Chains A and B, each alone.
Chain A
Amino acid sequence: MKREVKIYVSLGIVVLSVLALISRLVQLQVVQQQEFGKESDKNSIKKIIETPARGLIIDRNGSIIVDNRPSYTLTITPFQFDKNLIDEVANLANLDPEDIRDDLSNAKGTNRFNPIKVKRDIDFKTISYIEENRDRLRGVSYQVESMRFYPNKFRASHILGYNAEVSEKSLLESTENYYRQGDLVGTIGLEKYYEKYLRGEKGSRLISVDVNGREVGPYNDGKNDVKPTNGADLYTSIDANLQEYAEKLMGGRRGAVIAIDPRTGEVLCLVSKPDYDLNAFVGTPDAKEINRLFNHPDKPLFNRATQTKYPPGSTWKMMMALAGMASGKITPTTTISCPGSLTYGNRTFEDHGAYGSITAVRALEVSSNVFFYKMGLMLGIKDYHDYSAMLGFGSRTGIDLPNETKGLLPSQEYFDKVYGVNKWSQGLMVSLGIGQGELGVSPVQMVAYTAAICMDGLYIQPHIVRKVYNSSTGQEYPLEVKKTQIEWSQKYFDAVKKGMYLVVNGTGTAKNIKNSDYILAGKTGTAQNPNGNNHSWFVGYAPYGDPKIAVCVLGENAGWGNQFAAPIAAAIMVRFLSGNSVDVFNENAKVEVHD
């Protein structure tokens, strides 16, 4: 084919297309001009995004522990806004003019057509000022938004968590196209973990706007509007009364408490101290206060119940007894000689006393160190690691809070990596046997382990939320709880439980917490801390024959386990079992025996 022909064919297509475009333009701009002109005068449309109310959080008895209240949020639409008004608006809303400038310059692209939220929780005086000066303050407006409200006598800061404005970084990275600049997003705690359920679905309203930018009413009688769908509510297993009580017991100390129902894995209370007031993050937070929280040396934002990894001390001894029996190294009746110290290589490891030849049950009761030094050596690193892993150590329990730690459960590979192959000795097993050394556990791991022991090997994933239910749509979202039955002989669990019983009710290390109404069982622990005073541990459950609550208490730098942790744990167990009526806590109870 000749090139001319090709060119003519191409030109033909171009000419036809151009004619099509021009004739369509003539149709729109000449024939239908009147119609569109009228449309243009009266009926241009503005889209307003409506933010749904977040879901509520409810305790196990049906009381609302995280509620919403209405509030007004000051907005600026950058495209309409006159920059010269920045100072006036800043003054009005008690803001730094620089913050408004930042907000404005962060709004790029089509975001400049949408109102951006510059200050939450403005007062009625500000609203009336905006209304009175509507013509002058173009682009300045306000919208109703729901704000978090905590009607509680407790804080539960680490359970509930807070919402904060979505960060610029996550806006850029997000592909789901839900959040806009200034939107609130769950940043920590349940608010973050269940963000997708809590946030609901946004709606939108179309509004007709006249030539001067005034809103004249809903477009098409609101037929095209989409109502926002409120978020789903979280039904938690938290017992508000117990939570309040536990927070009171911990007072100004540093540490953590977590109590669960061993039969279901449901968390009854979870305290991490120091905590913080969630109200600090509501509305437009005070930057100074937020900075103070973030930089405080005691780390109040850090959840000590799920994020710390300390050596468990003697609370580890049940693990060793179980591993020894399950691996066949000992039986419940095997006796081991405990002469008061153990010499391994050229080092001597001390005990609290000489106990003669004793069984595992007795060793738990008196918290013999030598028994479990030997247990560590007998197990060796492989069995030590493998049996401990079966009770959840070295991995996350899966509790429904963000940033849970895995802890540290050492293995052959771990020591080879840290010290080099063949460069470490079995001597490490001695300390590991009594829960010291390079071993890190979190309170939530410890409570799940205690629960599994009292349930004869049924390991249940601890969880706070029992049900996610959206009351506006009637939809319930299924949740999954992982349960594992560890197939070890019932005799082994019986022996360990007997030991824990004797710790409190025999001659053991926690006889100071013996209770006449409820039979408590547990184990004290003291984690050596090279950087300061020892950490105090207690794990326990009650009632002994029919467990309904398992608890773990950690006191940072609080000394002996039976001094600090055991009385708190006991008080919490009794409080719960008595239907939140009895208070047995006695801070000054005498302590005679050390573990």
Chain B
Amino acid sequence: MEKKFFDKFDITLFIAVIGLIVIGIFAIYSATQSSANNADFYLKQMTFAIAGLVMVIVVSYLPPRYISSLSYYAYGVSIVLLILVLLFGRTINGNKCWFYIAGFGIQPSEFAKVATVMAVSNFFYKGDEENPKIKPMQIMIATLMVAVPAVLIKLEHDTGTTLVMLSFLIPMFFFAGVSPFLLVAIITPIIAAILAFINIYYFYSFLALLLIALFYFKRHYIITGGVMVMNVLAGYSVKFMYSKLQPYQQNRIMAVFDPTSDPLGSGYNVIQSKVAIGSGGLFGKGFLQGSQTQLRFIPEQWTDFIYCMIGEEFGLIGAGVVILLFAIIIFRLLNNAYLSRNRYLMLACVGFASLFFFHMFINVGMTIGITPVIGIPLPLVSNGVSSLLSFLLMVGIGMNTYRHKDIFLS
């Protein structure tokens, strides 16, 4: 009986999720403790976490067919909400992405992430064959499905979430069966662009490596040449595109390479958060004892910069545990994708794993100064109802995948 229950219930994933939420609530409590209304922060997070975990259980029991048939509706609703928020939403910190309903701020863009992954999974689900033939047209349509919400979110000036929307497309293509060569053709120009921005010699070395790699694919020389040309163009156009960015975005990117260049603006956050985390040491300064985060002026330390709090008060041990818990969640989602005989759920799990990964990597990366300062939350940990519930919805579908791993959808 016992064994049979855990055969269907992904206990590892569930515990890792609870672990992160608990750490998050402690961190939110600490980050806001000297605030006049700190109960508003951690109690609200706690209440919605409990409600969200109940939702996880409920979702994990739903018939997969039911979930997949809801995909397009969820997608449609979230597009409508994104348009409505653009027309009627409230502007906070320059991002117009909030609805206020009965005192709660709701961000449709958070839910749009889940809905878009579901819709793309449903689009690629054509029977349960592992590597079906993918037509270029399908790739275009899937890209468009992601581009529509991404553009709407960009119009709300929420650049962070826009980048997130683009993060899961390549992994989902990969698992849907798009040919590796095509993926190389899509990804390498992006890498080339980033490297060209950092250092022109990295860019040249990368081109050399790429040439060798392309040789092994043994494609027609015109196609191989085309991919090379695209990489070269991407590298050279990056400086041009950089000049087109808004000044605050340029500053944010520059501040990653040299935080001291702008200690007043974007660099300020990076300097402060590095000092906070660095001073935490191996064991941290102790709960509620972080002098940087308690007294000082790290902005958004209960939302986007909450990792500072953990790094300073719980040290390398706490900060490392958080990363490991994320690794466990991502591993479990990939594991469930691997086990699933249902290609819809398999693709959804891959999309969700990508979302968890991208959020965690960028968010943690920015607080320790290795990625740009992009305003996205740390999943399950940052204070914020919309983000918490949408990530728990992903967990619910991930658990559902584990429960129904032996069942074909068709």
Interface contact A224-B264, CB-CB below 8 Å: yes
The yes or no answer to A20 lying at the interface (CB within 8 A) is: yes
The yes or no answer to A104 lying at the interface (CB within 8 A) is: yes
Interface contact A22-B34, CB-CB below 8 Å: no
Interface contact A213-B279, CB-CB below 8 Å: no
Instruction: Tell me which residues across on chain B come within 8 A of A22, comparing CB atoms.
Output: 320, 323
Expressed in whole angstroms, the Cα–Cα distance for A11 and B337 within the complex equals 12
A 69-103 to B, binary, CB cutoff 8 A, 1 in contact else 0: 00000000011110100000000000000000000
Interface contact B279-A78, CB-CB below 8 Å: no
Given contacts A28-B278, A81-B36, A220-B263, contact A20 B296 (CB under 8 A): no
CB contact between B316 and one of A20, A25, A209, A220 (< 8 Å): that residue: A25
Interface contact A113-B264, CB-CB below 8 Å: no
Instruction: Tell me which residues across on chain A come within 8 A of B280, comparing CB atoms.
Output: 29, 33
CB contact list, B289-344 vs A, under 8 A: 291-292, 295-297, 299-300, 311, 315-316, 319-320, 323-324, 326-327, 330-331, 334-335, 337-338
**Stretch of B13-21, B62-70, B88-96, B251-259 with 4 or more beta carbons under 8 angstroms from chain A:** B88-96
Instruction: Tell me which residues across on chain A come within 8 A of B292, comparing CB atoms.
Output: 40, 44
Instruction: Tell me which residues across on chain B come within 8 A of A220, comparing CB atoms.
Output: 263
Interface contact B337-A7, CB-CB below 8 Å: yes
Interface contact A37-B370, CB-CB below 8 Å: no
Given contacts A25-B319, A47-B268, contact A173 B91 (CB under 8 A): yes
Expressed in whole angstroms, the Cα–Cα distance for A105 and B263 within the complex equals 29
Instruction: Tell me which residues across on chain B come within 8 A of A282, comparing CB atoms.
Output: none
Residue of A nearest to B353 (CB): A10
Instruction: Tell me which residues across on chain A come within 8 A of B326, comparing CB atoms.
Output: 18
Residue of A nearest to B338 (CB): A7
Tell me how far the C-beta of B258 lies from the nearest C-beta in chain A, rounded to whole angstroms. 14
Tell me how far the C-beta of A173 lies from the nearest C-beta in chain B, rounded to whole angstroms. 7
Q: How many residues of A contact B (CB 8 A)?
A: 61
The yes or no answer to A403 lying at the interface (CB within 8 A) is: no
The yes or no answer to B243 lying at the interface (CB within 8 A) is: no
Interface contact B91-A21, CB-CB below 8 Å: no
Interface contact A105-B37, CB-CB below 8 Å: yes
The yes or no answer to A36 lying at the interface (CB within 8 A) is: yes
Expressed in whole angstroms, the Cα–Cα distance for A44 and B350 within the complex equals 42
Instruction: Tell me which residues across on chain A come within 8 A of B374, comparing CB atoms.
Output: none
The yes or no answer to A1 lying at the interface (CB within 8 A) is: yes
The yes or no answer to B272 lying at the interface (CB within 8 A) is: yes
Instruction: Tell me which residues across on chain A come within 8 A of B300, comparing CB atoms.
Output: 109-110
Given contacts A29-B280, A110-B93, A211-B291, contact A21 B368 (CB under 8 A): yes
Tell me how far the C-beta of B76 lies from the nearest C-beta in chain A, rounded to whole angstroms. 29
CB contact list, A335-351 vs B, under 8 A: none
Interface contact A30-B281, CB-CB below 8 Å: yes
Tell me how far the C-beta of A82 lies from the nearest C-beta in chain B, rounded to whole angstroms. 8
Interface contact B36-A104, CB-CB below 8 Å: yes
Tell me how far the C-beta of B402 lies from the nearest C-beta in chain A, rounded to whole angstroms. 15
A 40-67 to B, binary, CB cutoff 8 A, 1 in contact else 0: 1101111100000000000000000000
Interface contact B34-A79, CB-CB below 8 Å: yes
Expressed in whole angstroms, the Cα–Cα distance for A17 and B35 within the complex equals 35
CB contact between B175 and one of A6, A29, A32, A212 (< 8 Å): that residue: A6
Given contacts A17-B357, A104-B36, contact A1 B370 (CB under 8 A): no
Interface contact B131-A1, CB-CB below 8 Å: yes
The yes or no answer to A516 lying at the interface (CB within 8 A) is: no
The yes or no answer to A206 lying at the interface (CB within 8 A) is: yes
The yes or no answer to B276 lying at the interface (CB within 8 A) is: yes
Looking at chain B's contact residues, the main secondary structure is helix
The yes or no answer to A26 lying at the interface (CB within 8 A) is: yes
Residue of B nearest to A80 (CB): B34
Instruction: Tell me which residues across on chain B come within 8 A of A46, comparing CB atoms.
Output: 296-297
Instruction: Tell me which residues across on chain B come within 8 A of A80, comparing CB atoms.
Output: 34, 295
Instruction: Tell me which residues across on chain A come within 8 A of B160, comparing CB atoms.
Output: none
Expressed in whole angstroms, the Cα–Cα distance for A385 and B22 within the complex equals 74
Interface contact B295-A44, CB-CB below 8 Å: yes
Instruction: Tell me which residues across on chain A come within 8 A of B334, comparing CB atoms.
Output: 7, 10-11, 14
The yes or no answer to B7 lying at the interface (CB within 8 A) is: no
Expressed in whole angstroms, the Cα–Cα distance for A175 and B370 within the complex equals 29
CB contact list, B358-376 vs A, under 8 A: 361, 364-365, 368-370
The yes or no answer to A125 lying at the interface (CB within 8 A) is: no
Residue of B nearest to A39 (CB): B275
CB contact between B263 and one of A6, A40, A174, A206 (< 8 Å): that residue: A206
Given contacts A14-B331, A40-B276, A211-B291, contact A33 B281 (CB under 8 A): yes
Instruction: Tell me which residues across on chain A come within 8 A of B330, comparing CB atoms.
Output: 14
Interface contact A29-B315, CB-CB below 8 Å: yes
The yes or no answer to A172 lying at the interface (CB within 8 A) is: yes
Interface contact B299-A20, CB-CB below 8 Å: no
Instruction: Tell me which residues across on chain A come within 8 A of B335, comparing CB atoms.
Output: 7
Given contacts A83-B36, A175-B91, A209-B295, contact A10 B130 (CB under 8 A): no
Residue of A nearest to B279 (CB): A40
Expressed in whole angstroms, the Cα–Cα distance for A10 and B356 within the complex equals 13
The yes or no answer to B174 lying at the interface (CB within 8 A) is: yes
Interface contact A78-B36, CB-CB below 8 Å: yes
Can you report 19 A-B residue pairs in the complex whose CB atoms are below 8 A from each other?
A: A4-B338, A6-B175, A7-B338, A10-B174, A10-B350, A11-B334, A24-B369, A25-B277, A25-B311, A28-B274, A29-B277, A33-B281, A39-B279, A40-B278, A47-B264, A80-B295, A172-B90, A177-B94, A211-B291
- Rank and list the top 7 A-B pairs by shortest CB-CB distance, nearest first: A36-B278, A40-B279, A28-B278, A110-B299, A29-B316, A36-B279, A33-B281
Other A-B contacts than A11-B331, A24-B368, A37-B281, 7 sampled, CB-CB below 8 A, are A3-B338, A7-B334, A29-B281, A33-B278, A41-B279, A78-B36, A80-B295
